[in-house]
Amino acid sequence: METSEGVKAVDVAWVSRLRRESQLKEACYLIAPEICVEIESPSNSRAELMERERLYFEKGAQEFWLCDLNGRMTFLNPAGEIARSGLCPTFPSTVSLD
């Protein structure tokens, strides 16, 4: 997606049909998917991931999810950290990284 810091690719995203269809004629999404997920790795810093969080919310994301190196999920909305996703409340707080 196009952000104020250039084009950024989300590791995993969920985008509604309505939002997706609104961007069909665009070469690059101009708005963020509703849910943007980043997966922490040794090649990216926590600060880099938090910058992406800011950029995604700036472009209209409703939630930002972060999966850490142990599979623990952190869910955030524009107001800050939330206990679980409001858009997908049954998503687990830990995922298997096998």
Note whether residue 88 is domain-resident. Answer: no
Quickly list H helices, the chain: 17-21, 46-58
Note whether residue 75 is domain-resident. Answer: yes
Rounded CA-CA distance 44/52 in Å is: 11
> Whole domain around residue 42: which residue ranges?
2-82
Note whether residue 36 is domain-resident. Answer: yes
Q: How confident is the model at residue 66, as a pLDDT?
A: 96
pLDDT per residue as tens digits for the range 23-52: 878 777 788 999 999 999 999 888 899 999
Rounded CA-CA distance 55/78 in Å is: 11
Note whether residue 91 is domain-resident. Answer: no
Note whether residue 92 is domain-resident. Answer: no
Rounded CA-CA distance 25/58 in Å is: 21
As to burial, measured by CB atoms within 10 angstroms (0-12 exposed, 13-18 middle, 19+ buried), residue 64 is: buried
- CATH number of 28's domain: 3.90.1570.10
Report the domain count for the chain.
1
The yes-or-no verdict on residue 19 having pLDDT over 90 is: no
Q: How confident is the model at residue 63, as a pLDDT?
A: 98
User: How many CB atoms neighbour CB 9 within 10 A?
Assistant: 8
